[in-house]
Amino acid sequence: MARGTPRSRAAIRPGTSKTTAATKSERAAKSRRAPRSRQNPLRFLARLLAMLCAFAFMVAFAVVLAKLTLEPSPASEALTHTNLRPGRSLRAYLDQPELRDAVRQIGGNLLLGVPFGILVPVVAPRTRGVLRVLLLTATVMLLVEFAQGAMVTGRAFDIDDVILNTTGALIGYLLLGRRLSRAVHARGSRSDSA
């Protein structure tokens, strides 16, 4: 008969099987984890409140985005042109005689993407990560631009708007979105994976 090592004999008391010892250690580990979630109801409520606020801001952002981008502009119908070449509209903005107009166009498109980069990782923590935020923002903004070009009078599809909106989302994510998402979802993700 093979003798057990001292370590295995110390872990199993006489009269108990390996299965019973393993079950007891699993129960002990679960009991150590359980009080943590019971001890922090305020943390849970704070996370829930942060998620609800982020969701409300996301809805408000969607309304503002729709109002700014999908509202018809018949007066500018003759001025709008579809742009599929990256950089073309940016050059046109920068060639304008008034710097204020260029800043308004470029800055406005950048600012339009910032809330997306801040709020999306908080509302949907699986989208956390630079690549995921960029892909999701680019997809949403492409859909908005397609809708503008296809259905809205006085609006046209512009790839530079998508690029600027996505860059704005990246800036928002790097400045605040990543930290905010980690603060709201840090405990939940660790206990889920444990």
Is residue 176, in this structure, part of any structural domain at all?
yes
Is residue 25, in this structure, part of any structural domain at all?
no
Q: In whole angstroms, what is the distance from residue 49 CA to residue 97 CA?
A: 47
In this prediction, residue 150 carries a pLDDT of 83
Please count the residues of the chain: 194
Q: Give the chain's domain count.
A: 1
Is residue 69, in this structure, part of any structural domain at all?
yes
DSSP, res 174: I
In this prediction, residue 21 carries a pLDDT of 56
In this prediction, residue 43 carries a pLDDT of 79
Instruction: Of 24-33, 56-65, 94-103, 158-167, give the range with the top mean pLDDT.
Output: 158-167
Is residue 12, in this structure, part of any structural domain at all?
no
In this prediction, residue 188 carries a pLDDT of 46
DSSP, res 80: -
Is residue 5, in this structure, part of any structural domain at all?
no
* CA distances for 5 relative to 8, 10, 12, 101, 159, angstroms: 5, 9, 11, 80, 69
In this prediction, residue 191 carries a pLDDT of 41
Secondary structure class of 158 (helix, strand, coil): strand
Q: In whole angstroms, what is the distance from residue 158 CA to residue 142 CA?
A: 9
pLDDT tens digit string along 92-121?
888 877 888 888 888 989 998 999 899 889
The candidate with the shortest Cα–Cα distance to 96, out of 106, 108, 83, is 106
Q: What is the mean pLDDT of residues 168-172?
A: 95
Instruction: Determine what percent of the chain is predicted with pLDDT higher than 70.
Output: 72
Is residue 105, in this structure, part of any structural domain at all?
yes
Q: The domain containing residue 120 runs over which residues?
A: 37-193
Q: What is the mean pLDDT of residues 60-82?
A: 73
Yes or no: say if 57 and 122 are a contact pair by the CB < 8 Å rule: no
In single-letter form, the type of residue at position 36 comes to R
pLDDT band at 164 (very low <50, low <70, confident <90, very high): very high
Is residue 177, in this structure, part of any structural domain at all?
yes
Model confidence pTM above 0.75: no
